[in-house]
Chains A and B, each alone.
Chain A
């Protein structure tokens, strides 16, 4: 084993030092591969294939660079200059990629927090943007708006905005207001509306629908109708109900007045 201590001609390194340095690099490659494969397995349910591959590569090469630097450091290579340059470069790159990192971190939190899932109808940015989630990637999320346009939104924007998720709950409430003339009997109208609601099979019986006189408006008495429906049919049920309630009131001869103002003319005025 004496040969291990022998100096390699033309250098200051012993055979042992070279063997250790090579072993550190080989070990680093093996660790990089293992980490990258483990990440692949863990990330498969959480992110798309492309994002996963990108992060696998970053992990793989980072570990190898660390292994090579450790190996060279062991052989006596001085990295002080490199680290200083790297630090400055890091600050520069950090500033330049601030938004990228922010989107990446937001993407990771979106995956962990799960306020949205693929297929969910949502509304974000204070209701300015509504649509169905198509894809959630590490840096961005793709939404198909309700008018059929695909939109890619940076994850940071989604994560920091209010998210209305219309599919998260099993049931949703629909609110409709209908105005009736002051001369109408509120109890009779309430009965007509309740009967109309009962006839729609998609209006949930429990929680029970609510119909009540909400306020006395300028031109009419406003009735408030509150019904619960399965979330999946909320929109069609709400639109159906507006039509059905109007028809039922028309059939019963109940007046739904338009805004009107009574003008009194002073006697003798021209």
Chain B
């Protein structure tokens, strides 16, 4: 199946002179002899990334897909922290659904034509972010996690900024006899599965379950949050990591991250 998201996200035939523009970023392909191609990304006219690759027998496509926000400006950790502003207070024994946003990066992939999309061989050759990256520590300096930080406003409807954010439709459950206030959500990025419709990106179906006054579990349920969404392909190494994490959780298709340092 050929994954074809519209606008900028999607797959492109590798050809001389291909140009894709995304705000200040300009991606171009140039044939530099026989079946060798030069990939180049410029920001405001300055070259920021360059790669050479071979497209033997026209067997490769170039793809632009949203990716997990853990690669820029350099890989530092594999967690994402969504800081809620305003915070969400949940009454005792209650459930609520809120629409949030999370950051995304844009991954540039070379894809083997034989197996396109998630069944194929996707190799990330470049990644970039259209937003300013910020990081925070969740937990203590010795055992905590370095997280990509994102401030989000809980809403009744998803309002992500295209190419910068993904929509998060999250169910919150408080089974306790007391009120609780959720100030942040932490996700394990390697567990994150993204879906898209046109150029709007969504996080997979997700829940936050409060366990006690300090600990909450974040569940990623490995299914689209809405009908009619396409699963965004992921790099090969992420697929492997995700698979091993899924096996380890023992929750079937769902992934869980336990927020042990407070919510």
Contact = CB atoms under 8 A, between A and B. Distances in A.
A228 B137 contact: yes
B153 interface: no
Given A230-B77, A233-B74, A170 B145 contact: yes
B76 A205 contact: no
A201 B137 contact: no
Contacts of B144: 170-171
A97 interface: no
B133 A171 contact: no
Nearest to B149: A205
Contact of A201 (B134, B138, B141): B134
A114 to B, nearest CB: 14
Interface in B125-160: 132-139, 141-146, 149
A206 B76 contact: no
Nearest to A170: B144
A173 B76 CA distance: 16
A228 B136 CA distance: 9
B146 A230 contact: yes
B146 A205 contact: no
B137 A207 contact: yes
Nearest to A208: B136
Contact of A169 (B77, B134, B141): B141
Given A204-B136, A206-B149, A170 B142 contact: yes
Interface residues of B, number: 19
A188 B248 CA distance: 52
B135 A205 contact: yes
Interface string A215-246: 00000000000001010110000000000000
Contacts of B138: 206
B162 interface: no
Residue from A173, A205, A230, A232 with most neighbouring chain B CB atoms (10 Å): A205
A33 interface: no
Residue from B74, B77, B137 with most neighbouring chain A CB atoms (10 Å): B137
A202 B135 contact: yes
Interface string A167-184: 011111100000000000
A228 B134 contact: no
Nearest to B133: A201
Interface of A is mostly: loop
B137 A171 contact: yes
A228 B76 CA distance: 13
B142 A168 contact: yes
Contacts of B134: 201, 205
B149 A171 contact: no
A237 to B, nearest CB: 11
Contact of A170 (B73, B74, B132, B143): B143
Interface string B76-97: 1100000000000000000000
Contacts of A204: 135-137, 146
A206 B141 contact: no
A167 to B, nearest CB: 11
Interface string B59-84: 00000000000000110110000000
A1 to B, nearest CB: 61
Interface of A: 168-173, 201-202, 204-207, 228, 230, 232-233
A-B residue pairs, 7 tightest by C-beta: A206-B136, A201-B133, A171-B141, A169-B142, A169-B141, A205-B136, A230-B76
Given A169-B142, A170-B142, A201-B132, 20 more contacts: A169-B141, A170-B77, A170-B139, A173-B141, A201-B73, A201-B133, A202-B76, A202-B135, A204-B135, A205-B134, A205-B135, A205-B136, A206-B136, A206-B138, A206-B149, A228-B137, A228-B141, A230-B77, A232-B76, A233-B76
